[in-house]
Amino acid sequence: MARPALEALLREHRLDRTLTTALPPLDPHDEGAVASTGCSGLDAQLGGGFPRGQLSELIGLRSAGRTTLLLQTLAAATARGELVAVIDALDMFDVASAVAAKVDIDRLLWVRGHMTAHPGLCGDTNQRALEQVVRALALVLQAGSFGVVVCDVAEAPAEALRRLPFPTWLRIQRMLEGSQTAGVLLGRESMARSSAGLTVRVDRTADEARRIQTHVVRARASNQTARDRKSTRLNSSHIPLSRMPSSA
């Protein structure tokens, strides 16, 4: 088969992105290409925001600032009139904090899971609960119409996450490709990221309570090729940190 015909066939099946890391640059001003985080400093690092049609990661330890950044991203999306969804594995999403962050709750779908952080002897039950979370995520992506879809497994036991079948996140990535949805996986450490997605790690700075430090661990090759680190001030009017849930 001639190369042009092969490339056309791969594009038809949305497989062409697997062949190269030199992806075309995204327009940071195009809301159809990126979902802004609502923080101009971080958006500048990310090339406009989280890329649509890709699975990105937002990772960090408890109280590092990941929930603060998540809520700000959801608030920015609902302010644009988009629908957003949160697949909440451990049922830890705090609605009061979301309202304080100016998330339009009428545009939010909240899917509540029933995993536990410390399953004890109920490990098998917890594993089935995690599998239900993944199925719920897939159903939401199939439904479409969402600008941002978040899967929060940040406090899920690491052993349960490791026991997921290897193709799990690959299947989620394929479902996102070609869509207008920015997928965000919330966790403590890197788990999965599509070829043009981003991995953003957040850390709380020691000098000032309302600052977080963002580390773009992996980014689009056309935009950033090395780790980029920057201290970013979040818009404190979005959410008072004293009202953040403990999983922030």
The dihedral sign for the CA sequence 42, 47, 51, 52: positive
SS (H, E, C) 60-102: CCCCCCHHHHHHHHHHHHHHCCCEEEEEECCCCCCHHHHHHCC
Whether residue 70 is predicted with pLDDT greater than 90 in this model: the reply is yes
Is pLDDT above 80 for 5?
no
Q: What pLDDT was estimated at residue 210? A: 55
10 Å Cβ neighbour count for 178? 11
Q: What gap in Å lies between CA 86 and CA 78, rounded to an integer?
A: 13
CA gap 4, 6 in Å, rounded:
5
pLDDT recorded at residue 110: 96
Residues 90-120: tens digit of each pLDDT? 999 999 999 999 999 999 999 999 898 888 7
- 76: tokens are 């920015």
The model's confidence at residue 54, banded by pLDDT at 50, 70 and 90, is very high
State yes or no: pLDDT of 4 exceeds 90: no
**How far, in Å, CA of 149 to CA of 50, rounded?**
11
Output the six-digit token pair for 70.
């998540």
Query: Is 221's pLDDT higher than 50?
Result: no
DSSP string, 165-210: -TTHHHHHHHHHTTSS-EEEEEESS-----TT--EEEEEE-SS-TT
What pLDDT, on a 0 to 100 scale, did the predictor assign at position 238? 35
Specify which of 139-143, 217-221, 244-248 reaches the highest per-range mean pLDDT: 139-143
pLDDT in tens, 12-36: 765 554 444 444 455 555 667 899 9
Distances (CA, A) of 227 to 12, 187, 212, 247: 33, 19, 16, 26
Cα separation of the two ends of the chain: 52
Span 117-174, pLDDT tens digits:
888 767 788 899 999 999 999 999 999 899 999 999 999 999 999 999 988 999 999 9
Residue 209: the pLDDT is: 53
